[in-house]
Amino acid sequence: MNEAAARTAVVEAARELERLGLNQGTAGNVGVRVPAGVLVTPTGMAPARLRPDDVVLLDAAGTPAPGQRRPTSEWRIHVDVMAARSDVHAVVHTHSPEATAAACLGQPLPAAHYVVARTGGPAVPCAPYATYGTPELSANVVGALGAGGACLMANHGLLAVGPDLDAAVALALDVEWLARVVRLARSHGQPLRVLPDDEIARVAERFGTYGQPS
């Protein structure tokens, strides 16, 4: 994807996250890898106001090119995740209600449903809390994410990654749904039945051939 197309895709993804109820106002942020570095949403701008020229290009060190808007306060996470993971080309960070509520427990989101296999592991890990926008938070997120596709951010929100923005947004929606299912299941007053790791591994393998051939 060239830079012009990527800028448009970032704006569209930010608006889609708001339309889906995964973000509201100026919460959350979006990033995508491009040949020149990483494009991220600007800080403090609602998706409805965004235009492709507002999206900020960062180099490998996280430095914005001159004359641009200020990047999201969580720019470090986008740069650091993509530096650590060559397979990741898109990152979305949300403050979606169900996932954020689960993150406030500071615990992994368990495999109450096999959809957790879409995240690449038997549970959605939770990164320890650190102040937003800090190197400590970015390091915590990179560590918790590991080789997976998503992690909670304690008392903060959710991070989902993917090979492109459509995949990252879809995964964020899956985790939000899973968090709601876990909450509803626990509301019935019975112990939560968690699927075993080997079953999640089987489901992950089956997901590899799910859907129509490309």
pLDDT at position 42, please?
A: 98
Neighbours of 57 (CB within 10 A): 18
CA distance to 118, 125, 173, 202, per residue, from 208 (Å): 10, 22, 19, 10
Q: Does residue 16 have an active-site annotation?
A: no
Strand partners, 150: 160
Per-residue pLDDT at 210: 78
pLDDT at 214 over 80: no
Indicate the pTM of the whole model: 0.96
Return the amino acid letter for 136: E
- Please, is 139 exposed, middle or buried when counting C-beta atoms within 10 Å of its C-beta (0-12, 13-18, 19+)? middle
Question: Please, what sign has the CA dihedral across residues 141, 146, 152, 157?
Answer: positive
Q: Given this model, what pLDDT does residue 1 score?
A: 78
Q: Give the integer Cα–Cα distance in Å for 119 and 92.
A: 14
165-186 helix and 3-19 helix, angle to the nearest 10 degrees: 20
Q: Domains of the chain (ranges plus CATH)?
A: 3-207 (3.40.225.10)
**DSSP per residue, 12-73:** HHHHHHHHTTS--TT--EEEEEETTEEEEPBTT--GGG--GGGSEEE-TTSPBPTTPPPBPT
Tens digit of pLDDT for each residue in 32-88?
999 999 999 999 999 999 999 999 999 999 999 899 999 999 999 999 999 999 999
pLDDT higher than threshold 80 for residue 213? no
Nearest to 160 by CA among 72, 93, 75, 95: 93
**pLDDT value of position 208:** 81
Of the residues 16, 74, 98, 176, only one is catalytic, namely: 74
